[in-house]
Chains A and B, each alone.
Chain A
Amino acid sequence: MAEHQTYEEAKALVFRGLMLLGAITIVEVVVALLAKGHLIHGVNFSHGFGHYVYMLLMIGFSIYKAYFIIFFFMHMAYEVRGLVMSVLLPVLLLVWAIIAFFSEGSYWGRSRENIRQRNEETVKPAPGGSTQGYYIIPGTEKQVKLG
Chain B
Amino acid sequence: MAETSVDHAHDTHEHVDESQRWEGAVSPFSASYGKIMMWYFLVSDAFTFAGFLIAYGALRFSMPTWPEPDFVFASFPFVDAHWPLIFVTFMTFVLIFSSVTMVRAVQEGHRENQRGVVFWMFLTVLGGATFLGSQAYEWTTLIVKENVTVTQNPFGRHIADGVYLNADKKKKKNADGTPKTFFKDQSYLIHMHDGKPSGVVYHDPAQRGEGMTAHENLKIKYTTGAYAGQVKEAAFGPKAFGALFFFITGFHGFHVFSGVLFLAIIMVNAGSGLYAARKNGYEMVEKIGLYWHFVDLVWVFVFLVFYLL
Query: Which residues of A line the B interface, CB within 8 A?
Result: 1-7, 9-11, 13-14, 17-18, 21-22, 25-26, 28-29, 32-33, 36, 38, 46, 55, 58-59, 62, 65-66, 69-75, 77-80, 82-83, 86-87, 90-91, 94, 97-98, 101-102, 104-109, 112-113
Query: Which residues of B line the A interface, CB within 8 A?
Result: 1-8, 11, 13-14, 21, 28-31, 36, 39-40, 42-43, 46-47, 50, 54-55, 57-64, 68, 70, 84-86, 89, 92-93, 96-97, 99-100, 102-104, 107, 111, 185, 289-290, 293-294, 296-297, 300-301, 303-304, 307-309
Q: Given the complex of chains A and B, what is the CA–CA distance between A77 and B3 in angstroms?
A: 9
Q: Given the complex of chains A and B, what is the CA–CA distance between A74 and B103 in angstroms?
A: 8
Q: Given the complex of chains A and B, what is the CA–CA distance between A50 and B93 in angstroms?
A: 27
Q: Given the complex of chains A and B, what is the CA–CA distance between A116 and B92 in angstroms?
A: 40
CB pair A112–B62 under 8 Å, yes or no, is: yes
- Within 8 Å by CB of B43, from A7, A75, A90, lies A90
Question: Top 8 A-B pairs ranked by shortest CB distance?
Answer: A105-B58, A105-B61, A108-B62, A109-B62, A83-B29, A101-B58, A62-B304, A105-B62
Cβ contacts under 8 Å, B107 to chain A:
7, 10-11, 14
- Within 8 Å by CB of B96, from A18, A32, A72, A90, lies A18
Q: Is the interface of A mostly helix, strand, loop or mixed?
A: helix
Inter-chain contact total with CB atoms closer than 8 Å = 165
Cβ contacts under 8 Å, B103 to chain A:
14, 17, 73
Cβ contacts under 8 Å, A105 to chain B:
57-62
CB pair B43–A91 under 8 Å, yes or no, is: yes
Q: Given the complex of chains A and B, what is the CA–CA distance between A69 and B303 in angstroms?
A: 15
CB pair A80–B30 under 8 Å, yes or no, is: yes
